[in-house]
Structure 1
Amino acid sequence: MTSGTDAPAFEEYASDAWPSLYRHAYLLTGNHADAEDIAQQTLLKAYRSWSRICRSDSLEAYLRRILTNTFLSARRPKKRRFELLTDTPPEHDSTPVHHGPEDRLMLWPYVKSLPPRQRVVIVLRYYEDLTEQEIADTLGCSRGTVKSQAHRALKALRAAMGSERADGRES
């Protein structure tokens, strides 16, 4: 645990960082409850090592890496997660495609369907606007791995969107 002198600095940082952590967690998980859980787990892990973390060159990058690793760890096959299945698929909006911030919302159901590591790369690259190197640093991998994960994810997104258009569900 950290000493009492570190706690106020951590509390102040945690309060300031919460909106960004929560947004990032929500983009990864796709729901509010899991986003809050992962963001809280991230802050708990950060608190336990705050005396070391607070000396980091980039606290934001350090916490983003903790959050990303926490998300990926929770998605490993060793744990069983149950999802509510329904007989009716979600309704799709048939409004014309716009090129702007709305596109991110329209793409979100497809992004959520990607495998966790591909979803992380897409979220960090296109929702958080990080560079390939920043993503590689966050994931602890090479830029080449980031590029290949992004390539696979974009290919899967195009295929999913193309098959939906072919089925006549999208105009």
Structure 2
Amino acid sequence: MDRDSEAAYASYVEQAWGSLVRAAVFLGALPHEAEDIAQTTLVRCYTGWDKVSSADNRDAYVYRMLLNCLRDTRRTRWWKDRAATGTLEDGGARTAVSDGADAFALADAVHRALSCLTKPNRDVVVLRYFVQLTERQTADVLGVPTGTVKSRLSRSLAQLAANDHILDLSGGASR
């Protein structure tokens, strides 16, 4: 890789790291697993930087790579053994956020509410609202039509609006 490409890649990594880790967490990975998945994604970006940097929609391309890395991780025997022992349940170790219990409670409630969605619907919500991709970019990442993204978002948001974890945060006023 030449010096200019190396600098462009380093700049991209610095800009994208936090977003990739957050997306992996909201897609169901634990924080330390999310960092591994983001790192693996960025290594794959490095090895194919020419394709990544010349992609029509670089963010969509990279988030597709992130989803593939997450799926690859979940296919391994280690993941299957770990899931079978129940260590992925919500009772697992959590890292408290530095800005207090309220922020932790909010993040935990959102994580629990998202876990109630189906995988395709959770992917759409995370990519659209947490990663802040457009509907078109989200459709490109997932390889589905834009209309499918819209319908999944509509169903997901209705389901999240009625979710007990979210209602508990608002005091159940919507009940």
Report the TM-score when normalising by structure 1.
Answer: 0.67
- Name 1:23's counterpart in structure 2: 22
For residues 36 and 133 of structure 1, do their structure 2 counterparts lie closer, same or farther at Cα, with a shift above 3 Å needed?
same
Residues 1:75 and 1:159: Cα distance change in structure 2 (over 3 Å) = farther
The answer as to whether partners of 1:72 and 1:117 remain within 8 angstroms in 2 is no
1:112 to 108, 112, 115: 115
Q: Which residue of the partner structure matches residue 128 of structure 2?
A: 125
The one-letter amino acid of 2:18's match is: P
More helix by share: 2
1:74–1:117: structure 2 CA closer, same or farther, 3 Å change rule?
A: farther
Deviation >6 Å, runs of 4+ = 101-104
Pair 133,4 (structure 1): closer, same or farther in 2 beyond 3 Å: closer
Query: Is the contact made by 2:9 and 2:46 (CA closer than 8 Å) also made in structure 1?
Result: yes
CA contact (8 A) 1:72 1:116 kept: no
Alpha-carbon RMSD: 3.5
Give the share of equivalent positions with the same residue, in percent.
34
Q: Give 1:42 shift.
A: 0.7
Structure 2 gap ranges (5+) = 92-102
Q: How many pairs does the alignment contain?
A: 152
Matched, 1:157 2:156: no
TM-score (ref. length: structure 2)? 0.66
Gap change, CA 1:7 and 1:20, over 3 Å in 2: same
